Structure 1
Amino acid sequence: MGKATMADQSQTAATQADTQAGPQSSSNKGFFSLLEIDMRLLGMVGAFILIALAFNMFTDGRFVTPRNIFNLTVQTVSVAIMATGMVFVIVTRHIDLSVGALLAISSAIGAMMQARWLPQIVGLDYGNPLIAPIAIVTCLAVGTLIGAFNGWLVGYQKIPAFIVTLGGLLIWRYVGWYVTDGQTIAPLDQTFTVLGGAEGTLGVTLSWAVGILASAFTIYALWNARNARKNHGFPIKPLWAEVTIGGVAVVAILGYIATLNAYDIPVGKLKRLFEARGEIMPAGYSEAYGLPISVIILIVVAIAMTLVAKKTRLGKYIFATGGNPDAAELSGINTKLLTVKIFALMGFLCGLSAVIASARLQSHANDIGTLDELRVIAAAVIGGTALSGGIGTIHGAILGALIMQSLQSGMAMVGVDAPLQNIVVGSVLVFAVWIDIQYRKRLGMKI
């Protein structure tokens, strides 16, 4: 009895000592530990900044300019959208090599719908307000149906995803070639091309409005998350840490908007716009591009995919299946149907990317989406999606796409030829995966 009492007293004393040591150990934590920032994500942001600064130096200050940042952003969108879907595919231990071909076939059918079939068969003249919606729905439907078919072959027929999508890579691009008879299809509907970003922007005032709303939403989300953790008794970051994170996010958002608003539309283009309206451009008149509509689409996709991943049953099933497929199936998850859903979603995003890519180019060309499957996979993997399954983030994939596009654009501006560009991109992909493996080993995570 005495021994038990002494043991209880010793345990109580140890507990009190730990409690007293708690604030001290918390105060001794590192700056980034208190902010609770993912060090891998921070490393990716640092890598992007270093890439931008390096290319800015080698291009005599032409890389970090409003014009190039605008172009870089617009060029990244289509790959980034597909990369968000590739996260779900890889998380469930599959792969999709056909995304570039799905983009091509969706773009081909959408372009033919605008330039050939609707005007010649249905009788809708060029510029009819129904053409753009029909073309968009067609692109989305084609991508979704082919994606679902891929998922059915993988999930129900048990054909490895690598084989199914490798076959799709060869099949669908050349089906699109036959659909267009190997021709470049143009012009596309003017309402449709607005979605590409190069022509469709919000202008200065609306861009600032979007930036302010996004900043307010970011602050609200951080504050709401803090209150939720506090109400459930979870540890919370110091208030100064929350303010720091919110401040950095707001500065980044508003700084990006200010940069885009600093890119003026060329005078010659403005004159043509005024002439098309039957007006004369006033002397000294200027107008900025602002935020591209395609970027808004990417933001909506990113938010939706993040909510699916974190807040829905589908997202929980995806990550549970990727973590342990056998256990997921034994727990009652219909992994076959889940596979169909994931590949259908991937196809839908390919169709959406086809809309944006063809709208940006204002035409459908036979080489559209070439090698996009490699860029999309690279973006997801560089963004932290584990090829072994179960781990991946949407924001990481988008940042990975931005890094990939920055490398390619920067090398093109420096004058690096295409073969060497591919060598560098391939090397960066292998190096990024190696770094990720070492990072996961260090944290004791699954590789």
Structure 2
Amino acid sequence: MLDLLKKFFKGLELDTRMLGMIGALLFLWLSFNLVTDGRFLTPRNLFNLSVQTASVAVMATGMVFVIVTRHIDLSVGSLLGLIGMLMGALQVHFLPQYLGFEHPAIWIVTVLFGIGVGVVIGAAQGWVIGYLAVPSFIVTLGGYLMYRGAAWWVTTGQTVAPLDATYRLLGGGAEGTLGANLSWLAGALASLVAVVLMVQSRRQKKSHGFSLKPIWAEYTLGAIAIGLIMGFVTIMNSYPLSKGAVKRIFAARGEEIPQFAVVHGVAIPVLIVVIVAIVMTIIAKRTRFGRYIFATGGNPEAAELSGIDTKLLTVKVFALMGGLTAIAAVIASARLGSVGNDLGTLDELRVIAAAVIGGTALAGGFGTIYGALLGALIMQSLQSGMAMVGVDAPLQSIVVGFVLVFAVYLDIAYRRRTGH
């Protein structure tokens, strides 16, 4: 029996480090569920956990590219705060004067403006790093200080509220969800995308003459992926809206209040994370840009000699990081419904920790998008669980810091053992 299990797992060719992260996540969930008398693994808490993880997860996918190219970005938390403040001021103080209060175009203009600002600032940082050869640590440390101060000057320290009603839907909550039917549809589409990516990966390996997994292993992995996706949708669709929320939502629509239970479904921020993860995975594995990133991280000198413009590549990587930070700023500010000066505080550490815990090598050259997402989920699970148990905030910081150092140690030990 043991030999059959070994053969089975060997045929699946699963990343042992990923299995370790999944095991650590399950251990955390079961432990917190035990000490909270079953309150941790409930649809309500898992829904909140998914929403709370979203903004850090989005930025962590970009941080993978930054770290893979042997750089670091310490400015993402402050940049998130600055972009959030600019977007808040735009939709509260400026756009209503020209478009009218709660105009349907306000959220679109705001989001596009925020992403544009993020890309420009990120590209500027990348230009200084790539073309002026200033270390990324110094450039982004300067950004960390400048952007936080600039955010204060936008509104002289005043909190911006209330944000546009449609914009707030992007942050989740009772109204910022897909509902039951759209959640099932989104789950089915995500399952289809997962299967298509697996099929394309197999075809590409076959065309290049690489060894292939047994076909039963491919079917098994596909079934696991579909099971995880649809299982998540099932849990989200089992979290009912409160009666007060149902009355408020249907009254605002001018519709009759239903007599049946109305569920939350998948939150919009989670949908955004899924879309970002798919796009970033395609970029990493299917594009020349992605291949250049990992080639440069593996050996910058060899990459430059082979014709890769590593300076321009640095600009593009940081511009992408800036754009993803803007998307995270949308999620974070929309979830709160307002923008204060503390928005994004310490997020840079959470994002870097998520990428590193997820297996991104600080020495460059290796990292995965799914690893960063798992790292973000582990970090948020740890913090949320400690908060539910009643652990004081200072002790939470101590634990998170210890976990980060321990995770890096395990990563170094793993790479030495495997020769990666």
Q: Give the alignment's TM-score, normalised by structure 2.
A: 0.95
- The one-letter code sitting in structure 1 at the alignment partner of 2:291 is K
Which amino acid is 2:343 matched to? I
Q: Which amino acid aligns with 1:77?
A: A
Matched with 1:118 is 95
Aligned partner of 1:171 in structure 2 is: 146
1:296 to 267, 271, 289: 271
Q: CA, structure 1 residues 104+37, in 2 after alignment: closer, same or farther (shift >3 Å)? A: same
- Compared CA separation, residues 232 and 323, structure 1 to 2 (3 A): closer
Q: How far off is 1:227 after superposition?
A: 4.7
Aligned twin of 2:356: 381
Aligned-partner residue type, residue 237 of structure 1 = K
Judged with a 3 Å threshold, the aligned counterparts in structure 2 of structure 1 residues 338 and 233 are, in CA distance, closer, same or farther, namely: closer
Amino acid at match of 1:92: T
User: Residues 413-432 of structure 1: matches in 2 within 5 Å?
Assistant: 413-432=388-407
Q: Where does residue 203 of structure 1 map in the other structure?
A: 179
Return closer, same or farther for 1:279/1:228 CA change in 2, 3 Å cut-off. Answer: closer
Deviation of 1:197 after TM superposition, in Å, equals 1.8
1:91 to 68, 73, 98: 68
Deviations 1:22-53 (A, max 9, x none): xxxx9896432211000000111111111001
Q: Deviations over 1:344-400 (max 9, x none)?
A: 111111111111111111111111100000000000000111010111111100110
Q: Find the counterpart in structure 2 of residue 103 from structure 1.
A: 80
- Given residue 335 of structure 2, which amino acid in structure 1 is its aligned partner? R
Q: Is 1:246 paired with 2:222?
A: yes
Counterpart residue type for residue 114 of structure 1: Q
Q: Percent identity?
A: 60
Larger-gyration structure (1/2): 1
- Cα shift at 1:148: 0.9
In structure 2, what is the Cα distance between the partners aligned to 1:278 and 1:304?
37
Q: 1:275 Cα shift?
A: 2.8
How big is the shift at 1:249?
1.5
| Aligned match of 2:35 | 58
2:137 maps to which of 156, 162, 174: 162
CA distance in 1, matches of 2:318, 2:110: 22
1:222 aligns with 2:198: yes
Partner Cα distance (2:67, 2:197) in 1: 28
8 A Cα contact 2:303 2:310, kept in partner: yes
Q: Give the match for residue 276 of structure 1.
A: 252
Unaligned runs of 5+ in 2: none
For the pair 1:67 / 2:44, whether they are aligned, the reply is yes
CA RMSD of aligned residues (A): 1.7
The farther-off stretch of 232-241 and 319-328 is 232-241
d(CA) in 2 for partners of 1:278, 1:308: 44
- The answer for unaligned runs of 5 or more in structure 1 is 1-25
Q: CA deviation at 1:285?
A: 3.4
Distance 1:36 1:360, change over 3 A: same
The CA distance in 1 between the partners of 2:278 and 2:254, in whole Å, is 41
- What amino acid is aligned across from residue 177 of structure 1 in structure 2? W
Q: Is the 8 A contact 2:96 2:103 kept in 1?
A: no
For 1:328 and 1:46, the matched residues in 2 are separated by 36
CA distance change for structure 1 residues 129 and 28 in 2, over 3 Å: closer, same or farther? closer
Question: What is the aligned counterpart of 1:309 among 269, 284, 308?
Answer: 284
Quick one: distance in 2 between partners of 1:386 and 1:53? 28
Alignment correspondent of 1:348: 323
* SS in structure 2 of the partner of residue 152 of structure 1: helix
What code does the residue aligned with 1:421 have? Q
Cα 1:222–1:336 change in 2 (3 A) is: closer
User: What CA distance in whole angstroms lies between the structure 1 residues aligned with 2:33 and 2:42?
Assistant: 9
Cα deviation digits, residues 322-352 of structure 1 (max 9, x gap): 1111111122211111111111111111111
The one of 327, 345, 349 aligned to 1:370:
345
- Which of 242, 248, 262 is the matching residue for 1:266? 242
Q: Does 1:142 align with 2:117?
A: yes
Matched, 1:133 2:131: no
- Letter matched to residue 244 of structure 1: T
Q: 2: CA distance between counterparts of 1:242 and 1:312?
A: 23
- The CA deviation at 1:81 is 0.6
Q: 1:217 to 1:352 in 2, by over 3 A?
A: closer
User: Letter of the aligned partner of 1:54 in structure 2?
Assistant: S
Equivalence for 1:327: 302
Return the TM-score normalized by structure 1: 0.90
Q: Residue 366 of structure 1: SS of its match in structure 2?
A: coil
Evaluate the alpha carbon distance shift between residue 51 and residue 275 of structure 1 in structure 2; reply closer, same or farther with a 3 A threshold. Answer: same
Question: Could you report, residue by residue, the CA deviation over 1:68-118 in whole angstroms, capped at 9, with x for unpaired residues?
Answer: 111100111110110011011101111000000110010000000010022
Aligned residues: 417
Cα shift at 1:228? 4.6
Give the partner amino acid of 2:19. Answer: L
- Kept in 1: contact 2:96–2:102 (CA 8 A): no
Q: Distance in 1 between matches of 2:168 and 2:388?
A: 26
Kindly indicate whether residue 13 of structure 2 is the aligned counterpart of residue 33 of structure 1: no
1:149 to partner: Cα distance: 1.1
| Residues 81 and 343, structure 2, Cα contact 8 Å, conserved in 1 | yes
Structure 2 residue corresponding to 1:392, chosen from 357, 367, 370: 367
